[in-house]
Amino acid sequence: MFGESIGLSYQQDRIRKYFTYFWTGPGVDEIPLVGVDGEAWEWRRQLWAWEEEMLRECQTLLLNLSLQAQSSDRWQWQPDPVKGYTVRGAYQLLTSQDATIMDDADKLIWHSQVPLKVSIFAWRLLRDRLPTKTNLVTRGILSPAAHFCVTGCGEAESAHHLFISCNTFGSLWTSVCLWIGITPVHSTSIRDHFFQFTCSAGGSRARRVRNSV
């Protein structure tokens, strides 16, 4: 019994040492995310504008979170909190969603002449992953009453509304078409709209401008 007690104590001690603590556990260079006196996170360089936007989005996701000081941190697979992550579960999650053919669009998004921040934005837009108010309401970050467009038009702020049907922002595309010298054909979907501005015929300068837009 004495030997078994020592062995059990040793195993528990080893497990305790390797348990993951998100904030206080050692991270990169053995430095925890939080110090004894409070915040210890410091960026090694000044953030780019698009990185600051992503940071604000992350901060928005944390607004409704309440950290429990007496509870240990743990990893959790949100699609199945009970069983956790499994390859089978991830496969079922991916295959159960509506399949969207993105091969042609991906070739245009990740073009060498397109800035990386523009490519990331377009990639998120085509997959409806931008922090629009409708998406934030769906994630529980905003209340259902706060889903209206920022322009005050009274419509729900979805990606389709902002980029296609909004009277304020949607009307800008006519001016863009005139600027780059093409005849506007108003599309009814974001994906068709994307292809219109990247696959239209025109000179090399016009194509570069459209890819940047």
- 60 in a domain, yes or no? no
- Model confidence, pTM: 0.48
- 88 in a domain, yes or no? no
Question: What are the beta bridge partners of residue 156?
Answer: 148
- 39 in a domain, yes or no? no
Return the C-alpha torsion angle 69, 74, 78, 80, nearest 10.
Answer: -130
pLDDT-above-70 percentage for the chain:
69
Residue 101 has pLDDT above 60, yes or no: no
Question: What are the beta bridge partners of residue 39?
Answer: 34
What is the band of 208 on the pLDDT scale with cuts at 50, 70, 90? low
Q: For the chain, give the longest Cα–Cα distance.
A: 86
Q: What is the pLDDT of residue 211?
A: 52
- At 8 the three-state DSSP class reads helix
Sequence-distant (≥ 6) Cβ neighbours of residue 121 within 8 angstroms: 50, 130
- 68 in a domain, yes or no? no
- 192 in a domain, yes or no? yes
Mean pLDDT check: name the lowest of 124-138, 148-162, 177-191: 177-191
- 116 in a domain, yes or no? yes
Q: What is the pLDDT of residue 21?
A: 61
3-state secondary structure 25-61: CCCHHHCCCEECCEECCCCCCCCCHHHHHHHHHHHHH
Name the helix (H) or strand (E) containing 137. Answer: helix 133-138
As for how many domains the chain has, the answer is 1
Sequence-distant (≥ 6) Cβ neighbours of residue 46 within 8 angstroms: none
- 34 in a domain, yes or no? no
What is the band of 48 on the pLDDT scale with cuts at 50, 70, 90? confident
**Most confidently predicted of 22-31, 44-53, 66-75, 114-123:** 114-123
Integer Cα distance of 127 and 120 in angstroms: 11
Q: What is the pLDDT of residues 136-180, one digit of tens each?
A: 888 888 888 888 998 888 899 999 998 888 888 877 888 877 777
Mean pLDDT check: name the lowest of 23-37, 106-120, 168-182: 23-37
Report which of residues 67 and 100 the model is more confident about.
Answer: 67
Q: Please say whether the beta carbons of 177 and 186 come within 8 A.
A: no
- 42 in a domain, yes or no? no
- The structure tokens 């994630």 sit at 139
Q: What is the pLDDT of residue 103?
A: 57
Q: What is the Cα 19 distance to its own chain's centre?
A: 28
Domain span holding position 114: 103-212
